[in-house]
Amino acid sequence: MVFNSYTFVVFFAIMLILHNLSIAWKAKKVNLLLASYVFYAAWNPPFILLLWLSTVVDFFVGRSLYTQQNKHKRRMLLVISLIGNLGMLCFFKYGGFILENFVALTNAFGVNYHPAKPNIILPAGISFYTFTTLCYTVDMYQRKSEPVKSLLDFSLFVTFFPHLVAGPIVRPPQLVPQFESPRKATRQQLLDGLLLLSLGLFMKVVCADTLLSGASDLVFSAHRGLGPLDAWIGVLAFSGQIFFDFAGYSTSAIGVAMCLGFVLPQNFKYPYAAIGFSDFWRRWHITLSSWLRDYLYIPLGGNREGKFRTYINLMITMLVGGLWHGANWTFVAWGGLHGVYLWVEKALSDSRKKASGGIADETVPATVIATASLGPDLTAKKPAGFIAALLTFLLICVTWVFFRSATFTDAWQMLASMSGRIAPAGPPLLSTVTIIKVAVVITLMLAFHWLMRDTSVLKTVAKLPWWLTGTVWALLLIMIVLSQGTGKSFIYFQF
């Protein structure tokens, strides 16, 4: 079941009615849990068994990790959790990828090995809920918080349908306490939630699917040399499509949860207004970048063991972040390129501090949430800051080529087309109308991100007159309905 479907509209209306009935809080939580299973079962019912397995194992292992005093037994329990979570993720998501690379390696050594291709179906959102449960057992091992007392609350934490298949990636302290006492949306929360849901659907259905996906899909499926204009418009279209698609889902998820009285963490903060690449990762997929910081980068040593280890840990973090997105070397290259960007940015920052007689801050993790910037106070200097943000955006667009391309051959061909290094293998691909449409949408997106970079939608709406908010909201709904036939599944469902 997807947010951009009439089935979900009916499902959500029923949930709102049930959640606002005068029944016991435990009964409401049971309703939410059952509804979450129904929501997930709409893709493939048997995969609910994976959710149950992950939930039950991590609940009891987490409790034992917290109470167990024997160091060796605690480590063994942690290993069990890691094997269960990462093993399940590796099998379903990376099984075919691992086998394919193993075959290529054996063939390179002259061994003629050609096994049958595995027929593995990827469960929707497995990367998201695996990271959600994994952080719980790690926290219990480190005794950062107390174990969840109720299996019902823990199950609901893992499977709560707004965040289940595409995030935000939540942690127990962010959501579990909200299940401990009765919660119901206030009138303002309900209005704000419905507004965010409408905005998220507008971003997905109208902006991503209707206005941008056509140009993006046409360019990236061409598999031939293109003119620089066609190539750049296609890449720009995808940069907008991936943002509107994923941020649209996160915005909808936060809105849906708010309508029920729950608060989910923010996942996007106008990332294309980022000044530098560390700033980009403070704004893009915030819950993943903070997860990688806390559960990978810092345990690796962070920046506490010298510059060389800092750079290595930073690159490992970004490579794993790339691989998390998909079982393909192009995703690893995408993460690696971001790692290189962050390397260069940190090196420039350290060099600038050294030249000015300052000392680089060794207490702040220099990972995807690092604090390095392109220059002093660029945010306040609007023209310089905007130019830096625009440069950051264009370099980010280069990374999206690897993210979107199925093979390295396609990626290199696209980059060569963007730079004009190869001659177009045919007439122009995109019509003038399509080029203008994409250019207008991307320009408006960048302007909106820059204007909104230090605020939020709800804060801005609160300052507007009610009639203006109502008019804009009505226009959003009309455009969503008119564009509904073009709606597609969310891109991040495959991750």
Nearest to 452 by CA among 247, 256, 298, 231: 247
Q: Which helix (H) or strand (E) holds 122?
A: none
SS3 of 23, please?
A: coil
449 classed as catalytic: no
CA dist 432 and 429 (Å) reads 10
CA dist 459 and 105 (Å) reads 55
Nearest to 330 by CA among 252, 409, 267: 409
CA dist 292 and 290 (Å) reads 5
One-letter identity of residue 147: P
**Six token digits for residue 470:** 């109502």
Q: Are 132 and 57 in contact (CB under 8 A)?
A: no
DSSP 211: I
Q: How many other C-beta atoms lie within 10 A of the C-beta of residue 98?
A: 14
SS3 of 339, please?
A: helix
Q: From the candidates 19, 285, 325, 449, which is the catalytic residue?
A: 325
The answer, yes or no, to whether the previous bond of 168 is cis (omega within 30 of 0) is: yes
The CA radius of gyration of the chain, in Å to the nearest whole number, is 23
Long-range contacts of 433-440 (CB under 8 A, 24+ apart): 434/214, 434/215, 434/233, 435/215, 435/229, 435/233, 437/211, 437/215, 438/211, 438/212, 438/215, 438/233, 438/236, 438/237, 438/240, 439/233, 439/236
Q: What's the CA angle centered on 296, arms 67 and 136, to 5 degrees?
A: 30
**Six token digits for residue 78:** 């942690």
CA dist 49 and 78 (Å) reads 22
CA dist 437 and 444 (Å) reads 11
Residues known to be catalytic: 325
